[in-house]
Amino acid sequence: MEIIEKYDYPKQFILREKDSKEIYKTLDGDQETNTIEKYQWHIVSTITEDIVNNEKYTLLQCEDERIGWININESIQIFRFEPEIYRFINEEFENNSINDNLGININFETQFTGKLLTVKSEIEYQDSRLLGIFIKDRFLGFHDAKYFDKLIECSFKIPREKLVGKKFYKSSKMQNLVSDEVLIEEPILVSLFHKSDIGKVKVNDKEYFWLSLENLEEITSQVNIKQDNKDSNQKHIDDLFYGVKNERRQSKEIVKRVLSLRHYLSSKNNKDTLEYDMWDNSELVKEILFFKKENKKLTKELNLENTRLEHQKDYNKRLEAQRNKYKDRMLLLEEKIKKQKK
């Protein structure tokens, strides 16, 4: 695990260091520093790492701002992984201080209740495992894992008679009861929330419904309920793969942006639209408009030169025709002169 921890790949931290710690602009001996206070309790990303005087320094970025180099000791690493689906459990929910420090102050219970939540990261804080909760792409803080129930994928056939008299619901909220008669053919349990004791069943080729898993213990006992608590080694491995994959995805996006811009600038009438929205960057907009103007100017000059070339070709053809005409006339006159001499 020590090798993995030392591997230099893009990581994320909640910056939490002593206020006296300095952030260096460079590591080349220049002592120009930046204050850490304004970045405390912000989520930062690492760019690269370097060793100076046997101490590891990390180059940090906060949103789009490059902060500088710092020796990280007390900050909280965010361990990322592929998205998982969770459900909020209506117990006596308590918020934690980390969300207050991050500036996330909302009614979490209202936001979480009855919704499918996405979890893409976790941290260790005050001896508790906290999950990074998202609704769509909106980050809603880190919360104790005990308040959430993980969706487990599975595939187990259910005898039809086991579903006789069962109530079916259209969503995991277990509120929208299906009033029509449900056609049950070869039912299969495809996923479940173990703590909540509810599951999703494929009842026929087209329809999926949610139901209570009460009295279906023979089926649910076959589901492999994995422990969510990963060891430190697994957390670092998952985060490493996530970081490398995310970096590769960002590289592909950059290539796509460049190709889109290249196509945009090379289009003859420049009426094509950019595939990516880059107009929020004023400097980039100026550069794009400059190249667009230059491209249009060069296109006009090229067309003008082509027109001139075509005119020159026509002129040359006319000159050649005139020359041939004079040549034929001259040959005719020479023949007449020869005849007169005879």
Please give the angle made by the CA atoms of 224, 203 and 89, to the nearest 5 degrees. Answer: 50
Residue 50 lies in a domain: yes
Final residue in a domain of this structure, among 220, 242, 266? 220
Judged against a pLDDT cut of 80, whether residue 7 lies above it is answered with no
Half-sphere exposure of 239 toward its Cβ, with a 13 Å CA cutoff? 27
Judged against a pLDDT cut of 60, whether residue 266 lies above it is answered with yes
Final residue in a domain of this structure, among 57, 74, 91? 74
- The 10s digit of each residue's pLDDT in 39-60 is 999 999 999 999 888 889 999 9
In total, how many domains does the chain have? 3
Residue 85 lies in a domain: no
- The 10s digit of each residue's pLDDT in 281-339 is 555 566 666 666 777 777 777 778 778 778 777 777 777 777 777 777 777 777 777 77
Residue 258 lies in a domain: no
**Structure confidence at residue 272 (pLDDT):** 55
Residue 332 lies in a domain: yes
- The 10s digit of each residue's pLDDT in 117-145 is 999 999 999 889 999 999 988 999 999 99
Residue 151 lies in a domain: no
Residue 267 lies in a domain: no
Q: Residue 208: give the domain boundaries.
A: 158-220
Quickly count: other Cβ atoms within 10 Å of residue 12's Cβ: 21
Residue 263 lies in a domain: no
Judged against a pLDDT cut of 70, whether residue 238 lies above it is answered with yes
Final residue in a domain of this structure, among 74, 96, 116? 74
What three-state secondary structure class fits 175? coil
Lowest-pLDDT range, 29-33, 37-41, 209-213, 234-238?
29-33
pTM: 0.70
Half-sphere exposure of 306 toward its Cβ, with a 13 Å CA cutoff? 6
- The 10s digit of each residue's pLDDT in 178-193 is 988 899 999 999 999 9
Judged against a pLDDT cut of 60, whether residue 268 lies above it is answered with no
* Residues contacting 99, CB < 8 A, separation 6+: 105, 108, 141, 142, 143
**Structure confidence at residue 28 (pLDDT):** 79
Residue 227 lies in a domain: no
Q: What is the mean pLDDT of the chain?
A: 84
Q: Which residue did the predictor score with more confidence, 298 or 61? A: 61
